[in-house]
Amino acid sequence: MVILIDSAEIANGFIEEFNSNECVVIPTVSDPLKHSMDNRLSLIYVYLLSGQEYLLFLNHSETIFDSSHIISGLKSDKRKFCSDKKILSHLLDLDNVFDGNLIEYLHDNKAMNVEDMLTNCHRVHYNKYHRFNNINDFIPSLKHLEYCSKIKDRLLGAVDRGIPECYSDYDRMLENYSKIEENGLFVHREKFLNRFGVNHKRHISKEDLVFTEYNYNTLTGRPSNRFGGINYSALNKDDDTRTIFASRQEGVILEYDFDAYHMRLISDLIGYKLGPMSVHEYLAKKYFNKDDISLEEYEESKSISFRVLYGGIPKEFENIEFFKLTKQFIFSLWDTYNRSGFIKTPLYKRKLKKKNLGDLIPQKLFNYYIQAYETEANFDMIEMINDRLDGLNTKLILNTYDSFTLDFDLKDGKDLIFDIKEKLKYPTKIKWGTDYKNLKPLEYQVLV
């Protein structure tokens, strides 16, 4: 039987129970279409593993007793389980939180879809009243209870399977992507609405920020990044879309762009030294068997490398040591996959299981493996950048597959730029500009 917290007496009893029990915590935001960074709590569902359920009301229309003031008292060090730790962290300050969705993903390479658990009541309201704000405040609390109870059962099933060994590393990933989401992207409001439509007005905060959402629930684990129908990992480079995104302060947009990222990741795996020079220039000399490379040959080199890495290594390139070693690695990986039924990612040792990925070919498995390596290498560098920027005005605002983008405050000084560059694992090109589109190469002498 669920207990509705509708008095100070019940609230005090709940705090005591919460602080002495492991539990499941599922927040419900007021507006299901708005990002959790620019939202408010409608109600909170709590299931104590001792068996008792609670509903805490905050902004829901059925609120009799406002539970807002008791949230600060929820400081238990007991384990808490949720379906999305990033969302929960934007709304509540809780310790020792485990993401059940992530646990399930690490077991099965596929996370739960909580939208599949919505009640018909939710679906009708979301469809009929999607233009209204804060619609969750008006959906009956018992329907929220029904929905949350389904999620709770699924979470407990995932937890019963055990916490995977690599969980702590991926948990750090959630925490660091949460920080990027919290930073938001500053936009020119009118430009944003002209480009994406007036219906996106609800996605712009009072500070003219829009918020992104990183999702690791992909086949390779390489996070996608989209929210409100906008893919922030693939903003159009050819039109004026990127001019919408600028610095929120008297600063610039600063981008660190890796040189031939996948090539360098592969060189790590096969033990081949590429050196600091341009990888595409290096390979162009191999492809064309000459020392002086034209611009056209340089560009053609990039195309050749892309075809070779993602379509298979043809015999005519096996005489190039880099590709010879790569081909050997691909088939060694394939042998392990078939013999053991899984392979482990290079850094965090997440299992890519044959029973989850299905029938593949050696090249496809290799592509998944490289993307997983890229993702985990990015995790470590994101954590380094976040730590370095702690307490500064400069913000890390985007991570795409091969670049990091900062909203850089000039007052933080040029040394910060090169300090981060030196700590990045691979050579990068630095670009800067007044907005995300108009970026130009940053030369040291420009700043001194």
Quick one: which H or E segment has residue 206?
none
- Report, as an integer, the average pLDDT of 401-421: 95
| pLDDT tens track for 200-256 | 999 999 999 999 999 988 888 899 999 999 999 999 999 999 999 999 988 999 999
Q: Using 50, 70 and 90 to split pLDDT, how confident is the model at 404?
A: very high
| Mean pLDDT of the chain, nearest integer | 93
- The residue behind tokens 């299905």 is 358
pLDDT tens by residue, 130-189: 999 999 999 999 999 999 999 999 999 999 999 999 999 999 999 999 999 999 999 999
Closest CA to 372 of 103, 97, 169: 169
**185-187/245-246 β-pairing:** antiparallel
Paired with 433 in beta bridges are 253
Model pLDDT, residue 301:
86
What pLDDT was estimated at residue 178?
Answer: 97
Res 443: pLDDT:
67
Label residue 146 left, alpha or beta by phi (over 0 means left) and psi (-120 to 50 means alpha).
alpha
**Cα–Cα distance for residue pair 216/213, rounded to 1 Å:** 10
Domains of the chain, with CATH numbers? 2-164 (3.30.420.10), 167-448 (3.30.70.370)
pLDDT in tens, 71-99: 888 888 999 999 999 999 999 999 999 99
